[in-house]
Structures are given as C-alpha cells and as structure tokens.
C-alpha cells in the first residue's frame, strides 16, 4: 500500500480542485455533506442492539423488499442532510419510489444525487459489514423543473461516485474521475482521513465472488467461467481459485479494490425478464466508475456498464466487475456462447 500524506477529506478536495480544477465548490460541498451524513449512519449502524435500530420496519420499498429500520434511518439521514444546502437539484434513492426534488424553500444546485442508503441490509442483524453507495450526476439544462428523465444519464456522465463500508473500520472510497482515494474514519476526531490514494486493482486474480447457490440458474458463459475456476490447477485455468461472497456488494467490491478479484451478479433464469438483481443507477454505475478508475473493468456480461443508457430509475442490470483480465474473459465467453 502506498504511503500518503494523511490529510482530511476537505483538504484532499481543495487540493484536487487546485490540481485538476474540475471540482466546483458546489460538488466539493456535496461530497462533504454526504461524507458527514455517512458518519452519522456509521454511528447508527455501530449502535446495533443498543440503538433500537435492528430488525425490520413495517414498510416495503419500491423493490418490494421489506425495509430494515436502518434502511429507513439511513435514507432519512441522507435526504435531510442534502436538501437545504443549495448544492443539489434533486435526489433518488433505492428506498424512495420517485425522485425527491429539493423543496422550493431551499435554493437548487446543479447536481443530482443518487444513493443506496444501506447496501447489504440483509446483513445488518448478523453484524456483517454493510455500506452506503452514492453517485453524482450533473443536472442537464438550467430550468428549475426536475423530472426522473433528468436522472437517466449513462454512468460515464457521473461527476463523482463513492461508497462507505461500515465494518471493522469505517472507510470512504471516492472517485472524482481522477483516480480512486480511500479515507478512514478517525473516530477520535470525527474526520475522514486520507489513508490511500491512487488505488489500483491487479489485472489478474485467483479469487471469484458470486452466490454459488444460483449455479443451476446461470447462463452458459457464467457456468463455463465458474466451472473452469473450480477446475483449479488440473483444469483449463491451470491454477487454484478461492471464493468469497459476503452478500454486501460494498464489502465484496472493497475486497476487490484492496487485493483484486472478480465480482459477479449475472442474469439468471429465476426471473428471466430481469437483467439482474443489482440496480444500475445507484449500485452498478457508481461501483463501475470506481472500479474503472482503479484500472479494473465493469460490464453487464457483454457491454460496459458505464455505456448503458438508462430507461428507468430503478432498472436492474447484470454485473461483472473487477480484475480486468478476468472480466475480459467472462465477456469473451458471453460473445462466444451468447
């Protein structure tokens, strides 16, 4: 791991602005407000049973999933933190059916914020790492009226993307389009401190990440790839592979950013009309931006995730991301086997 000057998130953003000049004050404020909100979520998550935050809420989200109490809390923290500052025009969340336009009593900014407020929430009650994923788009046009269509921009248009992992450490991983930086929450000072810069994903790996219980439902290219990994040293890959599956995308992606690997949540025939389980706008796109900025690759099996033109705010997508040479291999299998 390269050693870095341990500066605060604020100082990092100001220095990035000086060096690269592509971080308008409004975007810097947005990142800092969201990072502060993530600190509050980390505190709520860490309370666990002491904070009456475990278990399910009585509501369902737009995905038809029963919401956990912390899903609702995290969503409320992010909405309340971001609506008054004048840096945003509107927000979209996995936990909200439609977009949340900044109320008229507040000034509107030029950015759109999308987030999965608490990813991996099935792991909350069993004390496994979970996280927040967010994506920032620029508002197109300068009218005050904002609609869902304003959000439907391909992932390559993102101004920034980040995730927080609430684990043994609370970690913020951020890209503004100029590499990937990693911040660790210093609980004594309450600051996000730069602990790694220029994060790179190794091009090769011996570790795959997929929910193996879905094996019988996969398409042939995915089945071929995993069978070859399981073939180990004696098989066509000529090397043994390891498998990891946390069940929190933020945790699996963070491991890949840290030591390489390939993460797959592909289409499967359980629900043939759904391209995948994960959501494009606030899970796949921000993670794809971060992974590509770290030298990895991210496709839906056949095409670059960041090139997909969205048609619906909550649309789902197949995801294959991580070490470039492995993602390339899976994509080639899709092209060969269709």
Residue nearest to ligand P6P (CB): 249
Question: Which listed range, 20-28, 50-58, 162-170, 247-255, lies at the site for ligand P6P (CB under 6 A)?
Answer: 247-255
Shortest Å, Cβ 63 to ligand P6P? 9
CB of 15 to ligand P6P, least distance (A): 32
Residues that bind ligand P6P (rule: CB under 6 A) add up to a total of: 10
With the C-alpha atoms ordered 170, 85, 14, 176, is the resulting torsion angle positive or negative? positive
∠ Cα 28 321 73 (to 5°): 50
Rounded-to-integer distance, Cα 176 and Cα 154, Å:
16
Least Å distance, CB 76 to ligand P6P, is: 20
For residue 50, give the DSSP letter.
G
Q: Which stretch binds ligand P6P (CB under 6 A): 15-23, 155-163, 181-189, 243-251?
A: 243-251
| 97 and 83 Cβ atoms separated by less than 8 Å | no
Beta bridge partners of 132: 164
46 lies in the site for ligand P6P, by CB under 6 A:
no
How far is 192 from 36, CA to CA, in rounded Å?
Answer: 9
- Smallest Cα–Cα separation from 179: which of 14, 321, 290? 290
Q: Tell me how far apart the alpha carbons of residues 307 and 324 are, in angstroms, rounded to a whole number.
A: 17
Per the CB < 8 A criterion, the answer to whether 240 and 205 are in contact is no
Rule CB under 6 A: choose which of 81, 247, 258, 315 binds ligand P6P: 247
With H, G, I as helix, E, B as strand and everything else as coil, classify residue 148. Answer: helix
CB of 68: closest distance to ligand P6P in angstroms? 10
| Shortest Å, Cβ 7 to ligand P6P | 30
Q: How far is the CB of 253 from ligand P6P (least distance, A)?
A: 9
Q: Are 17 and 23 in contact (CB under 8 A)?
A: yes
Using CB under 6 A as the binding rule, the residues of this chain from 90 to 119 that contact ligand P6P are 119
Smallest separation (angstroms) from ligand P6P to the CB of 82: 22
Question: 159: alpha, beta or left, given left = phi > 0 and alpha = psi -120 to 50?
Answer: alpha
Minimal distance in Å, beta carbon 337 to ligand P6P?
A: 23
**Pairing between strand 242-243 and 207-209?**
parallel
Closer by beta carbon to ligand P6P, 94 or else 150: 94
Among 120, 221, 276, 286, indicate the residue that binds ligand P6P (CB under 6 A).
120
| 8 A C-beta contact, residue 323 and residue 296 | yes
What would the two tokens of residue 87 be? 């840096």
- State the binding string over 122-161 for ligand P6P (x if CB under 6 A, else -): x---------------------------------------
- Closer by beta carbon to ligand P6P, 225 or else 265: 265
With respect to ligand P6P, which residue has the nearer C-beta, 39 or 277?
Answer: 277
Tell me the closest approach of the beta carbon of residue 133 to ligand P6P, in angstroms.
9
Is residue 249 at the binding interface for ligand P6P, with CB under 6 A as the rule?
yes
Residues paired with 111 in a beta bridge: 88, 138
Start-to-end CA span in the chain (Å): 39
Applying CB under 6 A, among 67, 132, 158, 248 the residue interacting with ligand P6P is: 248
Binding to ligand P6P (CB under 6 A) within 179-218 occurs at 211
User: Are residues 110 and 159 in contact, defined by beta-carbon separation less than 8 angstroms?
Assistant: no
Considering the complex, state which of residue 27 and residue 246 has its C-beta at the smaller distance from ligand P6P.
246
For residue 178, the 8-state DSSP code is S
Binding mask 266-285 for ligand P6P (x = CB under 6 A): -----------xx-------
List interacting residues with ligand P6P (CB under 6 A): 119-120, 122, 211, 247-249, 265, 277-278
């Amino acid at each position: 791991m390269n050693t870095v000057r341990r500066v605060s998130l604020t100082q990092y953003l100001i220095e990035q602005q000086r060096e690269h000049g592509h971080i308008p004050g409004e975007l810097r404020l947005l990142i800092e407000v969201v990072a502060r909100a993530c600190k509050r979520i980390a505190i709520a998550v860490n309370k666990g049973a002491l904070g009456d935050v475990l278990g399910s809420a009585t509501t369902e989200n737009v995905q038809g999933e029963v919401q956990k109490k912390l899903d609702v809390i995290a969503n409320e923290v992010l909405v309340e933190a971001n609506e008054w500052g004048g840096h945003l025009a509107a927000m979209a969340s996995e936990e909200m059916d439609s977009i949340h336009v900044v109320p008229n009593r507040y000034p509107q900014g030029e950015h759109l914020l999308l987030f999965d407020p608490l990813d991996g929430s099935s792991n909350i009650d069993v004390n496994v790492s979970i996280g927040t994923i967010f994506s920032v788009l620029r508002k197109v046009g300068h009218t005050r009226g904002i609609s869902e269509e304003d959000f439907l921009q391909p992932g390559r248009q993102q101004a920034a993307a980040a995730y927080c992992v609430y684990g043994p450490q609370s970690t913020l991983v951020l890209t503004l389009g100029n590499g990937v930086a990693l911040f660790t929450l210093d609980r004594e000072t309450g600051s996000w401190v730069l602990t790694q810069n220029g994060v790179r994903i190794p091009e090769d790996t011996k570790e795959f990440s997929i929910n193996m219980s879905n094996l019988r439902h996969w398409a042939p290219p995915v089945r071929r790839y995993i069978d070859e990994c399981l073939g180990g040293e004696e098989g066509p890959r000529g090397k043994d592979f390891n498998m990891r599956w946390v069940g929190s995308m933020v945790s699996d992606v963070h491991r890949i950013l840290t030591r390489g690997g390939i993460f797959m949540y592909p289409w499967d025939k359980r629900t043939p009309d759904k391209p995948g389980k994960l959501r494009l706008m606030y899970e796949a796109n921000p993670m794809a931006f971060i992974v590509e900025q770290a030298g990895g690759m991210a496709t839906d099996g056949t095409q670059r995730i960041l090139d997909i033109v969205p048609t619906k705010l909550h649309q789902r997508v197949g995801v294959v991301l991580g070490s470039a040479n492995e993602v390339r291999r899976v994509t080639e299998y899709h092209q060969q086997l269709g």
